[in-house]
Amino acid sequence: MNVNTNYQNISDSYLFSTIAKKVNEFASNNPDKKIIKLGIGDVTLPLCKVVVNALKSASEEMGVKETFRGYGPEQGYDFLREKVQAYYKSHNVSLGIDEIFISDGAKSDLGNILDLFDVNNTVLVPDPVYPVYVDTNTMAGRKIVYINANAQNNFLPLPDKSIKADIIYLCSPNNPTGAVYNKEQLKQWVDYANENKSVILFDAAYECFITDEDLPRSIFEIEGAKTCAIEFCSLSKMAGFTGTRCGYTVVPKAIENGLLNKMWLRRQTTKFNGVPYIIQRGAEAVFTQDGQKEIQENLNYYKENAKIISQTLEKHNIWHIGGKHSPYIWLKCPNNMTSWEFFDYLLNNVQIVGTPGSGFGVNGEGYFRLTSFGSRENTIEAMKRLDEFLK
Ligand code: PLP
Q: What residues does each domain of the chain span?
A: 5-47+291-390, 49-288
Residue 221 buriedness (CB in 10 A; 0-12 / 13-18 / 19+): middle
Whether cis (ω within 30° of 0) applies to the bond prior to 334 is no
Atom of ligand 1 nearest to the CA of 105: 15
105 Cβ closer than 6 Å to some ligand 1 atom: yes
Of the candidates 259, 265, 270, 275, the one whose C-alpha atom is nearest the C-alpha of residue 106 is: 275
Q: What is the largest CA-CA distance in the chain?
A: 67
Q: How far apart are CA 62 and CA 70, in angstroms?
A: 9
Q: Give, using CA atoms, the residue closest to atom 5 of ligand 1.
A: 175
17-28 mean pLDDT:
95
CA distance 168 to 202: 8
Measured in angstroms, how far is the CA atom of residue 210 from the centroid of ligand 1? 16
Cα–ligand 1 centroid distance for 236 (angstroms):
7
- pLDDT for 13 equals 76
Angle at 125 between CA 203 and CA 142, to 5 degrees: 110
Just give the CATH number of 49-288. Answer: 3.40.640.10
Cβ(111) to ligand 1 under 6 A?
A: no
* pLDDT for position 352: 98
Arithmetic mean of pLDDT, 73-82: 98
User: What's the confidence (pLDDT) of residue 295?
Assistant: 97
Q: Please state the φ and ψ torsions of residue 228, each to the nearest 5 degrees.
A: -145, 0
Which pLDDT score, from 0 to 100, does residue 12 have? 76
Q: Which atom of ligand 1 is nearest to the CA of 241?
A: 14
Would the CB of 234 count as within 6 Å of ligand 1?
Answer: yes
Pocket test for ligand 1, best of 174, 209, 236, 325 (most atoms within 8 A of CB): 236
Q: Which amino acid is at 355?
A: T
Model confidence at 64, pLDDT cuts 50, 70, 90, reads very high
| Mean pLDDT on 195-224 | 97
> What's residue 345's pLDDT?
97
pLDDT tens digits, 254-265: 999 999 999 999
Query: Minimum mean pLDDT among 9-23, 184-198, 234-248, 295-309: which range?
Result: 9-23
Query: Residue 242 CA to chain centroid, in angstroms?
Result: 11
Percent of the chain with pLDDT strictly greater than 70: 100
HSE toward the beta carbon, residue 376, CA cutoff 13 A: 6
Q: pLDDT value at position 9? A: 93
Q: Contact at 8 Å (CB) between 199 and 264?
A: no
List Cα–Cα distances, 238 to 105, 209, 278, 326, in angstroms.
Answer: 12, 8, 18, 11
Query: Cβ(271)–Cβ(74) under 8 Å?
Result: no
CB-ligand 1 contact for 172 (6 Å cutoff)? no
Ligand 1 proximity of 204 Cβ (cutoff 6 Å): no
pLDDT, tens digit, for every residue of 97-152?
Answer: 999 999 999 999 999 999 999 999 999 999 999 999 999 999 999 999 999 999 99
- Selecting from 3.90.170.10, 3.30.365.10, 3.90.1150.10, 3.30.70.20, what CATH number does the domain 5-47+291-390 have? 3.90.1150.10
- The reported pLDDT for the residue numbered 11 is 82
What mean pLDDT value characterizes the chain?
97
Q: What is the pLDDT at residue 43?
A: 95
HSE-CB for 170 with a 13 A CA cutoff: 33
Answer yes or no: is the C-beta of 199 below 6 A from any ligand 1 atom.
no
197 within 8 A of 227, measured Cβ to Cβ: no
What ligand 1 atom has the least distance to the C-alpha of 234?
Answer: 15
d(CA 127, CA 105): 23
Binning pLDDT at 50, 70 and 90, where does residue 24 land? Answer: very high
Q: Is the pLDDT of residue 81 over 90?
A: yes
Reply yes or no on whether the pLDDT at 15 is more than 90.
no
Give the β-pairing of 143-148 and 100-103.
Answer: unpaired
Considering only CA atoms, which of 184, 225, 188, 223 is closest in space to residue 204?
Answer: 225
Rg (CA), the chain: 21
Predicted confidence band of residue 90 (pLDDT cuts 50, 70, 90): very high
Q: Are strands 199-203 and 143-148 parallel, antiparallel or unpaired?
A: unpaired
My answer on whether omega of the bond before 176 falls inside 30° of 0, hence cis, is yes
SS (H, E, C) the chain: CCCCHHHHHCCCCCHHHHHHHHHHHHHHHCCCCCCEECCCCCCCCCCCHHHHHHHHHHHHHHCCCCCCCCCCCCCCCHHHHHHHHHHHHCCCCCCCHHHEEEECCHHHHHHHHHHHCCCCCEEEEEECCCCHHHHHHHHHCCEEEEEECCHHHCCCCCCCCCCCCCEEEEECCCCCCCCCCCHHHHHHHHHHHHHHCCEEEEECCCHHHCCCCCCCCCHHHCCCHHHCEEEEEECHHHHCCCCCCCEEEECCCCHHHHHHHHHHHHHHHHHCCCCCHHHHHHHHHHCCHHHHHHHHHHHHHHHHHHHHHHHHHHHCCCCEEECCCCCEEEEECHHHCCHHHHHHHHHHHHCEECEEHHHHCHHHCCEEEEECCCCHHHHHHHHHHHHHHHC
- Nearest atom in ligand 1 to 237's CA: 14
In this predicted model, what pLDDT tens digit does every residue of 322-367 receive, in sequence order? 999 999 999 999 999 999 999 999 999 999 999 999 999 999 999 9
What's the pLDDT at 27? 96
For residue 40, what pLDDT band results from cuts at 50, 70 and 90? confident
